[in-house]
Structure 1
C-alpha cells in the first residue's frame, strides 16, 4: 500500500483561512465534515504518512477519493456551516447520535388556529411547542390532566374536534370543565389561544408567579363575596401546586439551565441532559454516541450541543436556556456561545459548574451518563442476535475455523508491584459464565508479562492432551473445559508471554490474542501489526466487555487481598479482636482510608481508645 494518498492536493493549494472541509468517497458521498481555523494546518495532519496516522483516521482517509473545502470569513461562520452540513449529509465518520430510549413530551400545537395540548414521542413535528422530556409516560399524563383543570386547552384529536363542530355538541371534557369547548363556540378562537398561551407560559416558567396571581384573584373574589369564583380559583391554585410539587426543586434562584454529563470510552459515549426550569428539574434526556474517529471531550461537547440545539427544518427547536452547563468547555467556546445566543435571542452563559448545587447536579448527570454507557454495552452483548453476529464477526476477522463459543480472558492487577493477583473470566455463547471464573494469587513475579506467563501455565496444565487418566476427577472440573479463544489484557509483550506458556504446555490449536486498551487494538503473537476490528461493531463490543469484566474481577480480588492483609496486621495487635477489626474497616470503608487516618480519627470508632489508636497507627506505618 502506498504511504501517501494519490489525490493529495499540493500544500500551497490549500488556503490558510478559516473554513469547512469535506472528505468524499468515489461515489461522491460525504464521509466526514470538519472545520478549521487554518485549513492548511488542519488538512496537513491528514496528509502525513499513512502509517503515522491513527488507525481510525487512516481508515477514513483511505476510504476517501477526494477532499474539498469552503473558505469562510470567521471561525463562527465555519462553526455554522459545519453544523449545517453535518445535519444535511449525515457523514458516517462524524459522531452518531441515538437516543437510548424514546421519551414522551408534553406538546402544544401553537401553529393551529385552535391549539391542541397532547402527549407525543415525536420531537420533529412542525409548529409545535415541546415541554420535557419526561422519564415516565404516566408522569406527563398526570401533568396534562391536572393542568387542563386550570387551563382548559383543547386536547382532542382533529377528528373528534370536527365531529363536535358538526353535531354542535361538546365532548365529555367540555362538559366537565377540562376543555373550553371552542368547537361549540363557548369561547372564541382568540380567547382559546389566550388560554393556550397561559398553559405554555406556566410550562415554560414552572415558577410560583402563576400560583400567586391566581391566589390574588381568589382573595379579590372572596372580598367581593363571589364565593363560587373564589372556590374555583382555590382549586386552580391547588392544581398548579400539585404540578410544581412533582418537579424536584434543585435551586432556589429560579435557575433556567441545561446541564450535561458525558461518559465515554474508546468506542462510544453516553450523554445525560438535565432540563432545569424555574429552579426545578423539568426533564431528563439521554443519548448514546458511536465514535468513528477519536474525539476528545471538548469536541464531544461541541457535537452534543449541536445535536441538541441546532434547528430542525420546520420543527420547533429545543429551547436554549440562560445557562448551559457542560463538563468541559467546547473546542470553540466563544463561537459556540455566540451561536447559542443567536438562537435564544439573548446572551447565553456557557460554562462549567465549579461548586455548589449546580456542580452537584452536574455530578448526578455524569453518574447517569456512566450508567447509561454501561447499560448500552451490556444490552448489546446480551441480545441473542447481537451475540451471534459478534461471535461470527470474531471468527471472520481472526480467521478461526469456528465461532469461539467459549472465550477465556486473563488480567493482572497489583498495587505498585505488591499484592499481585490475576483473574480469569469465562464467556460462553457471548454471556458470562460466572461459576467458571477463577482467581490467582502470584507470590513472586518480575513484571506483567511474567505474571501472564505464570497464570497461563497454571491454567493450561489442566488441558494437556492426551489426559494422563481419562477418568481423572479433573475431567469433571469446570477448569478443565477447553476454550475456543484465549484473551489477555495487553499488547504484544503480554500476548507473546501467553503464547510461550501455550507452546510449553503442549496444548495444540489454541488461539491467543491481546486486547490493548488505549486504542482497542487486537494483537496476535509474533505480529508486527495489530488486527483492527471495525468500530461500533458487535464483535468489538463483545471483546471489550469481556476484557472489562476480567479487569473488574481482578481489581475486586486485589482489593480484597489488600483488606485481608490489613486485617491480618491488625489482628496481631493486642486488644484488637475480629469484631473491632471489622468495625474499623467498616467505619473507614477501605484499607486505604484506614492507613491514611490519624490516631484521633481512629479513636472515634466504638471500642477504640486513644492508646489503642496509637498502636494501630504504628502497626500500619510499619
Structure 2
C-alpha cells in the first residue's frame, strides 16, 4: 500500500488546463482514468489528508504508485480520450457498466457479400448492424418472420448457403417466398443488398414512408388490373402493420429518443434504457454497476453515455436523449454525441408531458432491477470478499490475493501434453488474460510427468514476466510495449499461484520460482482427492472447512483451469489425428492440410464431406479431393455389429 505523498507531483508541475490523467500501480498497470477541466485543481484534490477522502478514493490513491496526464485543447477531446483510455486499459477503479442479463440483438452482417439477418448476443463486431436489444430471442424471430415476406433477405448460415449453392436448389424459405434465394442466383449481390438496406431502413424507424409506398404500389397495381400483384402487396402491407403492432406507441409525436432511468444507493446503481424509434419502444436494455469510486448520479449518466454510444454506428445515436440528471460537462457531452450522430443531439431532462411520464416509468423499472439484482448478487459480493479474506488468513499472506493464477496440465497417456493458465481478479475470472502452453519438454517422448510440466510452465510464465517488466514505454514505465504503448499481458505478477496437485507439484513450482529468483509470489496446490491445500515446505496440508468460501474459490479456479486445459488438449489431439491420416495423400502438403482444417474444423466433419465439398477448399481440386475421401474411408473405424443377427449397429 503506497503513500500518495511519495508520488505527488511537485508544486507547479501540473498544468492548469483541460486534460486526462492516469493513476498507475507499482507494476505500471492503469488503475484509474479521469478527465478534468483543470488538471491542477482535480489532481490536487487527491493529494490531501486521507481521512478527508471518500473510502473508495482512499483505496485508489493508496493502490496507485504514480500519476501522469495528457493535456488537450477542449473538453470534448478530453471526453473522447477518457473513453478510449478506459476502453483500452479497463481500470479497476473506474465505473464498469455490465448488462444485467444477456440481451439478444437482431443483427445484419453488412460486411458479407450477401448480408445475413440473424440473432446475436455478446460482444459486437465491426461491419455488423445491430437492432435492439430485445427482451427475448423469440420476439426477434416473430418480427423477422413477418418482415421476411416483404424483405426476403438471407437468414441461413454460411454452410447452408454454400451447400444449396452447390446443389443448385434453394431451401424451404426460398420456395415459400421468404428468401430471395441469392444462393442459386435468383437475385444478384446488388439486388440482395438493396433488399437488406430496405429492411434496415424499416427497422431504424422509417416505417411510415415505406408503408405508404407499398400502399401506393398496391393501388396502382389494382388500377392497372394487375390483381395478383395488388393482392401480394396487400398481404405485404398487412404483414408490416402486424409487425408494427407488436410495439406500443409511447410518444405520439413519433420521436426518436433514448430514455434513461437511474436508481442508486451508496454501493451500486441500476440503469434502464428504453430505445424509442418512431414513437414506439423498439428495445430495452438494463445495466448494473458497482460504485468503485466516489461518483454522483450525474457522473454515472456521463459514464453510461460513453459506454452506450462510444462504439455504435452514427444512426444508433437518436435525436433526443432523455435523462434524469444532466452530466457535469453538458456542453462537451452534447457536442460529442452530436459529432457521433452527424447532427445535433438534444440531451435534456424532460419536465412535463408524455416524455416525463415515460422517464418515470423507466426509472421505476430501474428501481425494480436494482432490488432484484441485490437479491441475486448480495450474497455473491459478500462471499467473494470473504473468500479472499479467508485465503489471506489461512495461508498467512501479507495481503488479500486479488490476482490468482492457476496452472493445470492435461495429456492423453503421455501424448499431446498441454497446460493452461487462468487468471482470477477480485474473485472473478479474467478470461482475456488466460494462456495455454504446449509442453516442449514432454513433446513426443510418451512420458507424462506433471511436476516437470508444471516447472516448465512456471519458468516460461515468470521469465516472460521479467522480460515484459524490463520493456519500458515512451513514458518510462515498465511493462509497457514500446511499439503499441499498451500494457503487456504478462507484465503483472499474481499474489497467489495455484497448481492442480499435491505436495510434489507444489514443490516443483516453488523450485522453479526460486531458480528464477521470484520470492514475492505465494504458491499452493489443491489436491483433488480430499481437496487439501498444500504449501511448499510443509509436510502437512492446510485443511479448509468444506463450507469455506476460500476453498470454494480455489475449487472454481482449479476447475476453470482444468476445463481450459482439456479444451486445448482435445483441439490439439483432433488436429494431430487429422494431419496423421492425411500425411500419406499424394500432393497434399502442409498448406493444403491447414486449409482443410480451417474449413471443416474436425475429423468428423471431414469424414462426412463429399468430394465436391472438399473441392471447394482453395488449392484442393477434384482429383485431390477424391484422394482425400479415399484416404479417410480407408482409415474409418469398422462398424459395430450384432453377432447374433449380423445387423450393423449405429
TM range (shorter): 0.5 to 0.7
The structural deviation recorded for 1:205 is 1.1
Aligned-partner SS, 1:199: helix
How many Å apart are 1:394 and its aligned residue? 8.4
Distance, in Å, in 1 between the alignment partners of 2:236 and 2:304 is 39
Who is 2:246 aligned against?
246
| Per-residue CA distance 1:464-487 (angstroms, 9 max, x = gap) | xxxxxxxxxxxxxxxxxxxxxxxx
For the residue of structure 1 that corresponds to 2:251, the secondary structure is coil
Aligned to 1:376: 373
2:93 counterpart residue number: 93
What's the C-alpha RMSD, in Å, of the aligned pairs?
A: 2.2
Q: 1:22 is matched with which residue?
A: 22
- Moved runs in structure 1, 4+ residues, more than 3 A? 1-4, 386-399
Deviation at 1:254, TM superposition (A): 1.4
Matches within 5 A, 1:107-186: 107-186=107-186
Q: Distance in 2 between matches of 1:163 and 1:48?
A: 68
Give the TM-score normalised by structure 1: 0.61
Q: Number of matched residues?
A: 396
| Cα distance in structure 1, aligned partners of 2:119 and 2:366 | 26
Find the aligned partners of 1:91 and 1:347 in 2 and give their Cα distance.
31
Preserved contact between residue 25 and residue 64 of structure 2 (Cα < 8 Å): yes
Residue 126 (structure 1) shift:
2.2
TM-score (norm 2): 0.59
Number of the residue aligned with 1:300: 300
Residue 321 (structure 1) aligned to one of 318, 323, 326: 318
- Does the C-alpha gap of structure 1 residues 85 and 3 become closer, same or farther in structure 2, counting only changes over 3 Å? closer
Spell out the pairing of 1:269-280 with structure 2 (5 A cutoff).
Answer: 269-280=269-280
Deviation, 1:395, is 8.0
Paired residue for 2:338?
341
Distance in 2, Cα, partners of 1:293 & 1:395: 25
User: 2: CA distance between counterparts of 1:123 and 1:345?
Assistant: 25
Q: How big is each residue's C-alpha offset from its partner over 1:197-246, in whole Å with a ceiling of 9 and x where there is no partner?
A: 11111001153222121111111111111111001000000000000000
Higher-Rg structure is: 1
Secondary structure of 2:204's match? helix
Distance 2:369 2:328 in 1: 24
Any conservation in 2 of the 1:207–1:254 contact (CA below 8 Å)?
no
Distance 1:143 1:219 in 2: 26
Structure-2 separation of matches of 1:318 and 1:210: 18
**What is residue 367 of structure 1 aligned with on the other side?**
364
Contact kept in structure 1, 2:31 and 2:91, CA below 8 Å: yes
Separation in 2 of the partners of 1:74 and 1:260?
27
What is the CA distance between 1:122 and its match in structure 2?
A: 3.1
In 2, the alpha carbon distance for the partners of 1:194 and 1:172 equals: 22
Structure 2 counterpart of 1:38:
38
Q: Which residue of 2 aligns with 1:195?
A: 195
Distance 1:3 1:183 in 2: 66
Instruction: Check conservation: 1:3, 1:51, Cα contact below 8 A.
Output: no
Task: Say whether 1:67 aligns with 2:67.
Answer: yes
| Aligned counterparts of 1:11 and 1:387: Cα–Cα separation in 2 | 42
Preserved contact between residue 107 and residue 117 of structure 1 (Cα < 8 Å): yes
Q: Please give the alpha-carbon distance, in whole angstroms, between the structure 2 residues aligned to 1:108 and 1:392.
A: 44
- CA drift of 1:51 comes to 2.2
Query: 2:3, 2:62 within 8 Å by CA — same for their partners in 1?
Result: no
Which residues of 2 match residues 356-505 of structure 1 at below 5 A?
356-381=353-378, 389=384
Is contact 2:270-2:367 (8 Å) kept? yes
**Is 1:258 equivalent to 2:223 in the alignment?**
no
Gaps in structure 1 of 5+ consecutive residues: 400-537, 540-622
Structure 2 stretches of 5 or more lacking a match? Answer: 395-548, 551-650
